[in-house]
């Protein structure tokens, strides 16, 4: 095939010898131009058959990969924004809950302190009441003891005055009578 092209160009060159003067004056060599044109067409055929399709496929794949990466980056940004909004909302909620817990803890602490104060006051009142009851019992016991001692002293004084000892029944009656009259 190449030989046939070369022979056709050679015959065409002989025919164009008349016109060679014009191209010759311009410095163009028909043989070299024809061979360079054939070589260029062969190179163009080889490139379009075996080089350009894989190169175009690779460029298409790369463009597709870039689009996919761009979509993934956009999706990641959107997810990051959503996540940041969720984190901010969670932080606000956690802060509100923390404030509520602190407020609740303070009020519970105040209630506990108040309850402890009331309990201590009630206990102190109980201790005071027990002490008053005990003192009242001791005062009553002391009065009874004093009353008994007074009766005994009066009985002895009366016995000494009368110079005779009366029996216990008569003694008690006389003392009671004397006390009633003294009051």
- Express each pLDDT in 125-159 by its tens digit: 999 999 999 999 999 998 888 888 887 777 777 76
3 state SS of 107: helix
pLDDT digits (tens, 9 = 90+) for 151-176: 777 777 776 666 555 566 776 777 77
Nearest to 61 by CA among 51, 50, 53: 53
Mean per-residue pLDDT for 107-130? 92
Average pLDDT, the chain: 84
In terms of Cβ atoms closer than 10 Å to its own Cβ (0-12, 13-18, 19+), residue 159 is middle
> In terms of pTM, does the model score above 0.85?
no
Local confidence band at 48 (pLDDT 50, 70, 90 cut-offs)? very high
For residues 69 and 72, give the distance between their C-alpha atoms in angstroms, rounded to a whole number: 5
Local confidence band at 11 (pLDDT 50, 70, 90 cut-offs)? low
- Greater confidence, 44 or 158? 44
Q: Could you tell me the two tokens for 44?
A: 């163009």
Quote the pLDDT of residue 38: 96
% of the chain surpassing 70 pLDDT: 80
CB atoms within 10 A of CB 155: 19
């Amino acid at each position: 095939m190449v030989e046939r092209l070369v022979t056709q160009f050679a015959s065409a060159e002989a025919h164009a010898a008349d016109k060679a003067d014009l191209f010759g004056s311009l410095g163009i060599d028909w043989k070299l131009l024809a061979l360079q044109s054939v070589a260029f067409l062969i190179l163009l055929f080889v490139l379009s058959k075996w080089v350009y399709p894989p190169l175009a496929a690779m460029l298409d794949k790369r463009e597709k990969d870039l689009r996919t990466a761009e979509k993934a980056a956009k999706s990641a940004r959107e997810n990051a924004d959503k996540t940041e909004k969720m984190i901010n909302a969670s932080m606000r909620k956690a802060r509100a809950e923390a404030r509520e817990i602190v407020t609740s803890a303070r009020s519970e602490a105040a209630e506990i302190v108040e309850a402890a104060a009331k309990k201590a006051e009630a206990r102190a009142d109980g201790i005071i009441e027990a002490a008053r009851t005990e003192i009242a019992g001791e005062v009553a016991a002391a009065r009874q003891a004093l009353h008994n001692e007074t009766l005994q002293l009066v009985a002895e004084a009366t016995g000494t005055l009368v110079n005779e000892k009366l029996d216990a029944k008569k003694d008690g009656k006389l003392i009671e009578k004397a006390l009633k009259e003294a009051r």
